[in-house]
Amino acid sequence: MNGLRLWTRFIRIHIRSSLEYPASFWMAALSQFTASFLHIVGVFLMFSFFGSLRGWSFWETALAAGIVQTAYPLAECLARGFDSFSSLVRSGGFDTVLLRPRSILLQVFCSRFELSRAGRFLEGVCVLGAAVSRLPAVRTPAHLAVLVLMVLGGAAAFAGVFILGAALSFFTVQGLEVVNVFTDGGREITQYPMDIYKRAYLVFFTAVIPYACTFYWPLLTVTGRSADPLCALAPLAGFVFAVPCAWIFLRASRRYRSTGS
């Protein structure tokens, strides 16, 4: 409970500091909103030419994109400290983290909070709301609950990958760009129904990194393509995935050697 109180206090501090320069904040948020919105415009233009994508309509694809564009910035906001963790290792600032009588995970979570990602989050909510309004079958209470679970489970899965990337920093000191393949790259892949890719991708993102569990399999449920209850509960895999990621981070922290900076 004390940890949650400390985390919320740090979040309030980060929000106040972000709003110290409101013009800068709103410009950054607007640019995030516009960049994400242009992706949906591109998808709309593609569908206006091709009509459908392997049986998926534009609004069904927009639903998938809206969920991802809501989950990813949520993970960025809350787990940004892990995404930029390599700079803390490189500068020797992790020494200070180890000296404080608080959980390492809690301190890293509290270290960064990207409020400017609210622009991208808002765009995702708008797209998600528009898609739900155009798909009557999605507007049942059960399906809306699955959508919320997809957003939260997807955010947990992305946060887990951020944590794994931070764990690698204990061995490499510098951040590895390969991690972006599974963060930014994962965001791009999951914005479309994943059965449009080769089966190997679907297997990998189901059994190794559970993006398909949080975004694709439950999408089959909310669009009426599957009645399997396991598909509806699949987003829970995102939370399950984040637990060993946190454990790996704590184990890797034992390999930390101060840079002496």
Phi, psi angles (nearest 5°) of residue 53: -125, 95
Residue 176: pLDDT over 70 = no
- Determine the residue type at 135: L
pLDDT for 68 equals 94
Q: For the residues of 129-184, what is the DSSP string, one character each? A: HHHHHH-GGGGSHHHHHHHHHHHHHHHHHHHHHHHHHHHHHHHHSSPPTTHHHHTH
Is pLDDT of 66 > 90?
yes
166 pLDDT more than 70: yes
- Confidence class of residue 175 from pLDDT cuts 50, 70 and 90? low
Average pLDDT of the chain to the nearest whole number:
86
* Euclidean distance between CA atoms 125 and 26, whole angstroms: 18
Compute the average pLDDT of residues 143-171: 92
Q: Nearest Cα to 235, choosing from 118, 70, 101? A: 70
Taking the C-alpha atoms of residue 239 and residue 152, their distance in angstroms, rounded to an integer, is: 8
Q: Give the separation between CA 15 and CA 12, rounded to whole angstroms.
A: 5
Task: Lowest mean pLDDT of 94-98, 139-143, 200-204, name the range.
Answer: 94-98
By three-state DSSP, how is residue 244 classified? helix
What is the rounded radius of gyration, in angstroms, for the C-alpha atoms of the chain? 19
| DSSP character at residue 216 | I
Give the Cα separation of 209 and 188 in Å (integer). Answer: 15
- Residue 56's DSSP bridge partners are 53
Query: Residue 25: enclosing H or E segment and its boundaries?
Result: helix 22-50
Cβ neighbours for 244, distance < 8 A, ≥ 6 positions apart = none
Residue bearing tokens 């390599």: 86
- Judged against a pLDDT cut of 80, whether residue 129 lies above it is answered with yes
Per-residue model confidence (pLDDT) at position 90: 79
3-state secondary structure of 241: helix
pLDDT tops 60 at residue 32: yes
What pTM, to 2 d.p., does this model score? 0.89
Query: Mean pLDDT across the stretch 92-96?
Result: 81
pLDDT score, position 254:
85
CB-based contacts of 213, cutoff 8 Å, min separation 6: 153, 157, 206, 234, 235, 237, 238
Is residue 53 a contact partner of residue 193, using CB atoms and an 8 Å limit? yes
